[in-house]
């Protein structure tokens, strides 16, 4: 996958669309986890959520960029 | 603290540690691996200038036309050069006649004895014949120059290439030495990747690179051919009174200079229309360290 995408002639890093896509997925996942009460089982919910988002984003970027 | 609590803490810490590790890897991949978004497709541009001046009477090509080596590009009015050739031919004939005359004089005087012609006159006529011969050769050389000028009145393509930005038309006056037409050498396309100086130590001569053009996803392959040994020092322009004009820059934030790295394109697909000036991304493939560019240059 190229490292950048051209949107209307503007060269953007591919990371940007990936970020947007992952953010949408994360929002769904986050809502679901919150609904099922998963965050009550972890030690520090804000830290866990942040880490989860970073893992998802970097994982997606890593897989798609190879 | 029971086991359940420890597991809760461990789960959070584990995913936190994973996030830090992954983020660091991605950052490293983006910021420190040798690649640049600032790549340009380039080609040798030949500024074709006529060798003789004159009116353009024929333009045999049209804009952006593909031409082959030796093809006629445009013609300068040959009449003046044809007349010059005729004049030079006449001059040669005159000199030849003079040479014949001097030669026959010299040989006749050489045959006569000393009573009829003095030895000085005999000697002089020999030298006159030699001078006439030299003048005949001179006229011959001038004829060759006139023929060359006539030949140079038609401008041919020196290489296979593309006519670009054609701005010469019938009736224009083409001056000798002033470029009238740009020709892009079709076999000379290469890529300049402008790499930050911080990434230069990671580059090796001969390393394989991927070239991705901004327009369309065509992926080309190439290898590092060389790197530029100089860029302009932008912080030190010559100011007034020949003093250097050093830019006062911040001590903290320093921008890395960009150094052009020349990449040779290994193969260009036939259906790909490359154009000099296109933007591309240059990604150097990771490779086991063999020889840095600096070492290779040192050994050379």
**DSSP secondary structure, B68-122, as one string:** -TT-EEEEE--HHHHHHHHHHHHHHHHHHHHHHHHHHHHHHHHHS-TTTS-HHHH
Residues 6+ apart with CB under 8 A from B179: B47, B48, B49
Which pTM value belongs to this model?
0.75
Q: Is the pLDDT of residue B46 over 60?
A: yes
Q: For chain A, how many structural domains are there in total? A: 1
Q: Is the pLDDT of residue B86 over 90?
A: yes
A38 CA: distance to closest CA in chain B (Å): 11
CB contact under 8 A, B8 and A43: yes
> Coil, strand, or helix at residue B213?
strand
CA distance B169 to B277: 26
A36 CA: distance to closest CA in chain B (Å): 16
Q: Which residue shows structure tokens 């050769």?
A: B137
pLDDT band at B42 (very low <50, low <70, confident <90, very high): very high
The CA-based diameter of chain B, rounded to the nearest angstrom, is 146
pLDDT above 90 covers a percentage of chain B that reads: 54
> Coil, strand, or helix at residue B246?
strand
Q: Is the pLDDT of residue A62 over 80?
A: yes
pLDDT band at B53 (very low <50, low <70, confident <90, very high): very high
Q: Which residue shows structure tokens 């890897």?
A: B25
What are the φ/ψ torsions at residue B216 (nearest 5 degrees)? Answer: 80, 155
Q: Which of A44, A50, A58 sits opposite B26 (nearest CB)?
A: A58
Instruction: Find the domain containing A41 and state its range.
Output: 4-65
Q: Which of A15, A48, A54 sits opposite B12 (nearest CB)?
A: A48
Mean pLDDT score of chain B, rounded to an integer?
88
Could you tell me if B212 and B219 are in contact, meaning their C-beta atoms sit under 8 angstroms apart?
A: yes
pLDDT of A16-54, one tens digit each? 889 999 999 999 999 998 888 888 878 888 888 999 999
Residues of chain B whose beta carbon is less than 8 angstroms from a beta carbon of chain A are 5, 8-9, 11-13, 15-16, 18-19, 22-23, 25-26, 29-30, 35, 37, 212, 214-215, 217, 279, 281, 283
Could you tell me if B99 and B130 are in contact, meaning their C-beta atoms sit under 8 angstroms apart?
A: no
Residues pairing with B223 in the sheet: B208, B264
Q: Is the pLDDT of residue B294 over 70?
A: no
Residues 6+ apart with CB under 8 A from B286: B33
B295 CA: distance to closest CA in chain A (Å): 30
């Amino acid at each position: 996958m190229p490292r950048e995408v051209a949107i209307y002639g503007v060269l953007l890093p591919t990371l940007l669309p990936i970020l947007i896509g992952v953010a949408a997925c994360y929002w769904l996942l986050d809502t679901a986890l919150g609904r099922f009460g998963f965050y009550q089982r972890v030690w520090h919910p804000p830290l866990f959520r942040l880490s989860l988002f970073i893992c998802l984003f970097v994982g997606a970027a890593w897989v798609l960029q190879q | 603290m029971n086991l359940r609590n420890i597991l809760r803490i461990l789960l959070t810490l584990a995913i936190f540690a994973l996030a830090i590790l992954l983020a660091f890897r991605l950052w490293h991949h983006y910021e420190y691996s040798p690649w640049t978004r600032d790549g340009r497709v380039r080609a040798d541009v030949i500024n074709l200038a006529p060798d003789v001046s004159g009116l353009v009477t024929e333009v045999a090509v049209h804009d952006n036309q593909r031409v082959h080596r030796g093809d006629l590009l445009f013609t300068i009015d040959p009449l003046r050069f044809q007349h010059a050739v005729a004049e030079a031919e006449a001059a040669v004939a005159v000199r030849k006649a003079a040479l014949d005359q001097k030669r026959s004089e010299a040989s006749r005087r050489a045959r006569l004895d000393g009573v009829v012609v003095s030895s000085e006159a005999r000697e002089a006529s020999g030298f006159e014949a030699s001078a006439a011969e030299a003048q005949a050769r001179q006229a011959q050389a001038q004829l060759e120059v006139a023929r060359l000028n006539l030949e140079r009145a038609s401008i041919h393509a020196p290489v296979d290439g593309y006519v670009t930005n054609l701005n010469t038309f019938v009736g224009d006056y083409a001056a000798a030495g002033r470029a009238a037409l740009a020709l892009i050498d079709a076999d000379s396309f290469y890529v300049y990747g402008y790499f930050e100086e911080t990434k230069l130590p990671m580059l090796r001569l001969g390393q394989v690179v991927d070239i991705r053009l901004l327009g369309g996803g065509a992926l080309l392959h190439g290898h590092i051919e060389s790197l530029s040994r100089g860029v302009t020092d932008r912080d030190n322009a010559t100011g007034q009174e020949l003093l250097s004009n050093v830019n006062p820059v911040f001590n903290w934030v320093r921008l890395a200079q960009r150094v052009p790295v020349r990449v040779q394109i290994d193969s260009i697909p036939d259906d790909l229309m490359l154009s000099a000036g296109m933007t591309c991304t240059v990604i150097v493939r990771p490779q086991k360290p063999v020889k840095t560019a600096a070492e290779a240059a040192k050994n050379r």
